[in-house]
């Protein structure tokens, strides 16, 4: 979060610690293929925000003079 703030980048979201990541790796699956958890819900939420970020980044940024 700090690095994003220092660089003026948005924090899209935070991923909570969840053992589902290890379970998914052992099973050779993506966390979103397993039953929903806080982690997989957060991943889905971030994925849905990516188009929004893409639109924001493609807009020209106008700097105002003091």
Give per-residue pLDDT as tens, 16-55: 899 999 999 999 999 999 999 999 999 988 888 888 777 6
What does the chain come to in residues? 66
Phi/psi region, residue 17 (left: phi>0; alpha: psi -120 to 50; beta: rest), is beta
pLDDT at 35: 93
5-25 average pLDDT score: 89
pLDDT > 70? residue 59: no
pLDDT at 60: 54
Taking only Cα atoms into account, the Rg of the chain, rounded to an integer number of angstroms, comes to: 16
Identify which has the larger pLDDT, 13 or 2. Answer: 2
């Amino acid at each position: 979060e700090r690095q994003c703030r220092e660089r003026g980048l948005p924090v899209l979201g935070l991923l909570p610690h969840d053992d589902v990541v290890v379970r998914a790796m052992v099973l050779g699956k993506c966390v979103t293929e397993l039953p929903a958890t806080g982690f997989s819900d957060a991943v889905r939420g971030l994925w849905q925000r990516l188009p929004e970020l893409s639109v924001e980044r493609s807009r020209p940024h106008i700097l105002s003079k003091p």
